[in-house]
Chain A
């Protein structure tokens, strides 16, 4: 099907996740978030590293406390893999994600996100997100650029082919019925 890194540690090494450890211990500065978000989205598909984002924005990100387990990988994990962001872009654009696998994976999303739920103040419904927006949002969580602890955990544990599978599934859903 594809040869993306299959394990979380491969994925993290490939996206420079070890570098994000340097971001830990500081608090997210909301005023800088939107610019960072933009930069991150741009960086996602142009192979920029987490390092450059840190330097540009100096984000202050709260340490995710995880019952004693930090959400970031330990620095110095193996590197030199293909750039998964580039491959991911290709897979998403070509609709190569494994839709059925995506449907199964989506089960995890649906416990909290309604599919077509009415606009919901707490947690947004998923089906209306464009594939690239969806992948970018996950990448921003993965890079700790978005604050929610739960989604950071979810994003950290999705490998690139899993993200592609999810986008393929969500893209396959019929448009939600217009709300009166």
Chain B
């Protein structure tokens, strides 16, 4: 309750603003748009490390962040939806001004961000971490307006809950169809972890159900590990149709529960459409996108066309790092160090980037893939890496699964305090 009031006060401050909120004298302002894995980490590290030397403003429309990471586990009841909720009270207590508002425009010449609530924020540095939006028309017959019937469940919270409810209510022996996205997209193993978790649920509540995966990609992340796991845990339940057999050009008929694949009509009971993706709309509004994403330089993720705007997380076209919460968090610490050094004269350290993506195939059967990255020629370049192996001992898989839970707690603390 106390926390609420604190955030509430900040929000009231924002809505009362009539004139542009000017930069406080002598204290450079960093405006961070988007309080997700990337943006909240930047804001937290800037505030924590600069000890009041910077005016950090975080703009985020939602009071609660529902992480996509681990959302697949809620489909198999391995996590509760509530356990994936994060609030901004600890960030506010660090001295960050948390504005519950949406950035609707960026005037880069004047260095101002326009807010949906009518306010205008001047900035010395701008950080955009808006995550993803969907490419309209990328799946024929389906639009975001249909998501209330056929969820994408590729943002956390309500969409994932809707999918879980539909799966729970599916008729015995029904068909669940998942349309996977083309590259690049958020969380490369995400759709396949989702298939695993839906299968796990079905084994328990609807063992004659079928799962149909329609995939525009010929190969996918951790493919050997997933396919091995599916054969061991969910034999005969999952069928994947790749691009050669029509998985790349499906047409969805939401009203009648049909998908047309290579001219054949397939009936589904529950479907999950994960469309093609692009940077969150504010990146486009700021005039920074190229092919849907924002090209950034590799040393501190400054937009290639504007060194005062850093873009990180899913929205950035940075090179080789996968679009993951881990990557966004890793990039955020590099960005925070660079911005702080530029604005306060603190020490600048060389960038270090890393990613690890854990995936649950079944309870106690976890796998992971990871790598480190360096600032290469014009892009963030992959260095060395590792991946779990098919045929690993069960206790290693169980340890990897347990590790992912520990990671979730640690990164949650690192992002939100």
Q: Which A residues form the contact surface with B (CB < 8 A)? A: 64-67, 69, 71, 100-101, 103-105, 107-108, 110-115, 117, 120-123, 147, 149-150, 152-154, 156-157
Contacts and interface: CB of A to CB of B under 8 A. Distances in A.
A104 B333 CA distance: 8
8 contacts: A66-B387, A107-B352, A111-B330, A121-B405, A122-B407, A149-B386, A149-B388, A157-B383
B337 A65 contact: no
A111 B411 contact: yes
Given A147-B396, A150-B386, A153-B370, 14 more contacts: A66-B385, A67-B386, A101-B349, A104-B333, A107-B333, A110-B413, A111-B329, A111-B407, A112-B406, A117-B413, A122-B405, A123-B407, A153-B371, A153-B385
B403 A108 contact: no
Nearest to B396: A147
Contacts of B330: 108, 111
A42 to B, nearest CB: 27
Contacts of B82: none
B326 A153 contact: no
Interface string B364-402: 000011111000000000011111110000001001001
Nearest to B413: A114
Given A107-B45, A153-B386, A157-B384, A67 B369 contact: yes
Contacts of A156: 384
Interface string B346-363: 010100101010000000
A117 B369 contact: no
A111 B410 contact: yes
Given A104-B337, A111-B326, A111-B354, A122 B406 contact: yes
Nearest to A149: B386
B82 to A, nearest CB: 19
Interface residues of B, number: 37
A59 B371 CA distance: 25
Contact of A112 (B45, B347, B356): B356
A157 B386 CA distance: 13
A102 B404 CA distance: 25
Contact of B414 (A104, A110, A120): A110
Contacts of A154: 354, 372
Nearest to A106: B333
A125 to B, nearest CB: 8
A108 B331 CA distance: 10
Contact of B409 (A120, A147, A150): A120
Contacts of A108: 330, 333, 352, 354
A67 B349 contact: no
A170 to B, nearest CB: 15
A121 to B, nearest CB: 5
Contacts of B405: 121-122
B406 A111 contact: no
Contact of A152 (B45, B386, B404): B386
A65 B387 contact: yes
A101 B403 CA distance: 27
